[in-house]
Amino acid sequence: MWRQKSKKMPVLKGYKMSEYVIETPKGKWEVIVGLEIHCQIISQSKIFSGASTEFGDDPNVNVSFVDAGMPGMLPTLNEHCVFQAVKTGLGLQAKINKYSEFSRKNYFYADMPTDYQITQFRYPIVGEGKVKIDLSDGSEKDIRIERMHIEQDAGKSIHDLSPTKSYIDLNRAGIGLMEIVTKPDFRAPEEAGAFLRKLRSILRYLKTCDGNMDEGSMRCDVNVSVRPFGTDELRTRCEMKNVNSVKFVMQAIENEAKRQIEQYENGLTVEQETRQFDPSTGQTKVMRKKEFAHDYRYFPEPDLPPLILSDEFIEKVRQDMVELPDAKKKRFIETLGLTAYDAMVICENQETADFFEKAAQGHDAKKVANWMMGDFFAMLNKKKCDIQNSPVSAENLGALVELISKDVISGKIAKDVFEIMSETGENPEKIVEEKGLKQVTDTSEIEKIIDQVIA
């Protein structure tokens, strides 16, 4: 009964090709999605204390008196976390707010030692920005960023070690987070997926967050609502907390949208509530109804003065910026002649892009890209190997392409050579030399051989 169409729908005013329409016997619906992403800031120490942020240490070893919420302890802001936040803001092409404020978000929970979270509420450090996403049909779309603020992470409650007790690990308590809030600009699960991949790519380029959703250093809350296709009303939304992979985010959107449509089509309403995504079933279930929503009693954090950024500080961050994936992609297309798709894939992470540039240095960049997209990635996948540990170095891949370009070897032979390279790590010239694989292109040489054979 569910039929999803894409690309074939008539293009409505203001909509792009990536339209995602859920069609039921009763009508057509579209989905409206906004994301809130918590990103752990890469920093040696926590955002308001000097304790280490090391992941995977024994429980409760990286906990200062401040992190434990001891009486009389006060937070002090880690300047590096501010640096990282501004850098991320610049990466999101966002407005950097020179004035921002910290607030307390009050709620009781065992892994929140002060029973309030220091966050930013009315005045976030980063304002509106945008992220360009690349869709599978080759189109691009801008997703608007509403804001980004910085705050402290909570500890972890561990409920499955004992049937009667809960355990608390405060190592994570106080680690700096950036919370990125998008506008409700997504109209398809694919768009949300593309956004998360692009965001992760940007954060990794910037080295401000490692973006590992499975380790929880990037966590996503998904807000979903639906409406009859073609209307512009905004209906009640539901929030799904901590959906922990790109795949799950897409799945959660799809299934939650279907659930809401079913509600409406059965004459029911959708209630504003917080829901939990269950990765094993792909379904969502109620976590907290609206009437049980917390009253967080936000108020300005009196222990920290407003955060005022100087032009010099922002300039210092700007100096530290790197070429981001979009700019790199554009350059690879425009100056190196790559296809949009190849450029996008190669630019998704910086190590790949760097490898490519090194390999393409002085050689046919397009051919290098082809090789990377084909045999090279296939080899890495097969060997389950990071590009940093590739047995085939960038220089050697470039040299291999050079041998093909100069007709020293044929494309077919090159595949054999590459096979040997990936086993031995040797350079292609040496392999070709030793194995006598040189292609003969001198016609007089060939004639000589023919004569010999006929004779």
Partner 1 sequence: MTDITKLTIHETLDELKKKNFSVTELTKAYLKNIDQAERYNAYITVCAERALEQAKTADQNYAKGTPRPLEGIPLGIKDLFCTKDIRTTAASHMLGNFVPPYESTVTEKLLNDGAVFLGKLNLDEFAMGGSNETSAFGPVVNPWSKDVDLVPGGSSGGSAAAVAAHLCAGATGTDTGGSIREPAAFCGCSGIKPTYGRCSRYGIIAFASSLDQAGPIAQDVTDCALLLESMSGYDAKDSTSYPTDVPNFVRFLHEDIKGLVVGMPKEYRPEGLNPEVAAYWDKTAEMLRARGAIVKEISLPHTQYALATYYVLAPAEASSNLARYDGIRYGYRASGDCHLDELYIKTRTQGFGAEVKRRIMIGTYVLSAGYYDAYYLKAQKMRRLIHDDFMKAFEQCDVILTPTSPITAFPIGDKEMLKNPINMYLNDVFTVSVNLAGLPAMSLPIGLAANGLPLGMQLIGKPFDEGTILNVAAKIEEDAGFERL
| Binding positions for partner 1, rule: CB under 8 A | 65, 68-77, 104, 106, 108, 110, 113-116, 164, 166, 168, 295, 297-299, 302-305
Residue 114 or 171 with smaller CB distance to partner 1? 114
Name the token pair of 56: 């995977």
Pairwise CA distance, residues 49 & 66, whole Å: 6
Q: Cα separation of 252 and 449, whole Å?
A: 67
Closer by beta carbon to partner 1, 99 or else 299: 299
Shortest Cβ 169–partner 1 spacing (Å): 13
Cα distance between residue 90 and residue 95, in whole Å: 8
**What minimum distance in Å lies between the beta carbon of 141 and partner 1?**
36
- Residue 96 DSSP label: B
Q: Of the two residues 5 and 297, which places its CB atom closer to partner 1 in the complex?
A: 297
Least distance in angstroms from the C-beta of 294 to partner 1: 10
Question: DSSP H helical segments within 92-232, as ranges?
Answer: 189-206
In angstroms, the CA 258 to CA 24 distance is 10
- Residue of 154, 133, 8 lying closest to 68 (CA atoms): 154
- Pick between residue 11 and residue 70 the one whose CB is nearest to partner 1: 70
Q: Which residue's CB is nearer to partner 1, number 64 or number 260?
A: 64
State in angstroms the smallest separation of the CB of 69 from partner 1.
4
Q: How far is the CB of 271 from partner 1 (least distance, A)?
A: 19
Asked whether the CA dihedral 378, 383, 384, 388 is positive or negative, the reply is negative
Give the three-state DSSP class for 245: coil
Q: How far is the CB of 303 from partner 1 (least distance, A)?
A: 5
Dist. CA 292–CA 307, nearest whole Å:
33
Distances (CA, A) of 235 to 46, 188, 257, 337, 398: 39, 16, 12, 45, 55
Q: How far is the CB of 357 from partner 1 (least distance, A)?
A: 44
State residue 265 phi and psi, 5-degree precision: -70, -20
Question: Which one, 9 or 73, has the nearer CB to partner 1?
Answer: 73
Smaller CB distance to partner 1: residue 49 or 182? 49
Strands 273-277 and 238-243: parallel
Shortest separation between residue 201's beta carbon and partner 1, angstroms: 35
User: Do the Cβ atoms of 191 and 253 come closer than 8 Å?
Assistant: no
**Can you say whether residue 427 is alpha, beta or left, with left for phi > 0 and alpha for psi between -120 and 50 degrees?**
beta
Backbone angles phi, psi at 242, to 5 degrees: 45, 60
Identify which of residues 10 and 302 has a Cβ nearer to partner 1 in the complex: 302
